[in-house]
Amino acid sequence: MKVYITYKIPEAGLKRLEGKCCFNFNEQDKLLSKKELSARIADVDALICLLEDRIDRDVLDVGEKLRIVSNFAVGYNNIDVDYASQRGIMVTNTPGVLTETTADLAWALLMSVARRVVEGDSFVRSGKFSGWRPELMLGSDVHGKALGVVGLGRIGQAMALRAAGFNMKVLYYSPSPLDRENELSEWATYVDLETLLSRSDFVTLHVPLNDSTYHLIDESKLLLMKPTAFLINTSRGPVLDERALVKSLKEGIIAGAALDVYENEPALSPGLSELSNVVLVPHVGSATHQTRNRMAEMAAENVIAVLSGEIPPNLVNKELLQQRSARL
């Protein structure tokens, strides 16, 4: 059984594969082009890929023997899942393990932009700090404010739970309200997106990227936000119209933003990096030693399961199971 990995993943994942299959990985420190990727997967049974690898119809067609595409990420908008299902190829991801880690980062971004941590750091390093001043680098309070969570899935809920420690009011917008048994349902209020945007002091995005969430936050939505409010995005860049964001930050429509993800990653929209009221980090929501090791193990475990004829623990296209049981 042959496995190809499009970029070196943490050792913990490679160790899981050792002795179970024959695997190779891209040893260069750069992503493969579509042509390079296609050339490497013609005869492989399993592919482990990154969220930056576009696994479209053409790529899937080249992989004639492919049985599984194992994404080293929870989001899988980079894969044509419908087409994979048509071809009977299993698609897996790495959910759960990165929930708390990503919520930690979203929270770090929120605090950084509200209290001007990054600006303060540059100020001190550049030798401009000449002592305590009554109005030096004033920021915005976080405690007691309203947090608006857009998308209350696993990461959105973890973000909302952290707000309790800051005595914040939580508003959320999701396809449906939480079940009554959910501990959050008592103190998080379900509202429509417009209400959330107009009432929140901090808006944090946690929706997956798909046709219905592309540019969910566009110019008209940004206009609904308070001029004192901040926007945090750790989901996927295209959920937010980045050019509209730059315009609204320049014009004072909103107070600031903190981003981990970008619309045309790794490129930034013109003007974004020149603004002082933004905090920008390089898509590191799940980037801790512990979480990336566990993600690598999960990506490998999904592959091993499929190659052993078992159902992988993190199957995305569950419709394949129905097809399978209908055939039996």
List the catalytic residues: 236, 265, 283
* Residue among 68 and 225 whose Cβ is closer to ligand GLV: 68
**Interface segment toward ligand GLV; rule CB under 6 A; list 29-37, 68-76, 129-137, 164-172:** 68-76
Q: Per the structure block, which two tokens stand in for 135?
A: 């109005």
Minimal distance in Å, beta carbon 236 to ligand GLV? Answer: 7
Strand order in the sheet with 146-150: 188-190, 169-173, 146-150, 202-205, 230-233, 256-259, 278-280
- Please list every residue from 85 through 124 that binds ligand GLV, using CB under 6 A: 98
Say how far residue 28 (Cα) sits from the centre of its chain. Answer: 24
Cα distance between residue 56 and residue 253, in whole Å: 38
272-291 residues in contact with ligand GLV (CB under 6 A) are 285-286
How many C-beta atoms lie closer than 10 Å to residue 114's C-beta? Answer: 21
Q: Which is nearer to ligand GLV, 101 or 112 (CB)?
A: 101
Q: Which of 212, 213, 268 is nearest to 243 (CA)?
A: 268
Q: Which residue among 41, 59, 69, 73 contacts ligand GLV (CB under 6 A)?
A: 73
DSSP state at residue 218: -
**Surface-to-core class of residue 275, CB atoms within 10 Å of its CB (0-12 exposed, 13-18 middle, 19+ buried):** middle
Q: Of 51, 91, 209, 216, which lies in the binding site for ligand GLV, with binding defined by CB under 6 A?
A: 51
CB of 190 to ligand GLV, least distance (A): 25
From the list 13, 75, 156, 312, which residue makes contact with ligand GLV (rule: CB under 6 A)?
75
Q: Nearer to ligand GLV by C-beta: 51 or 146?
A: 51
Number of residues that bind ligand GLV (CB under 6 A): 7
CB of 149 to ligand GLV, least distance (A): 17
The answer to the question of residue 174 lying near ligand GLV (CB under 6 A) is no
Choose which of 17, 47, 74, 279 interacts with ligand GLV (CB under 6 A). Answer: 74
Tokens of 183: 């501990």
Contacts of 201 (CB under 8 A, 6+ apart): 140, 145, 146, 147, 226, 228, 229, 230
Q: Which residues bind ligand GLV (CB under 6 A)?
A: 51, 73-75, 98, 285-286
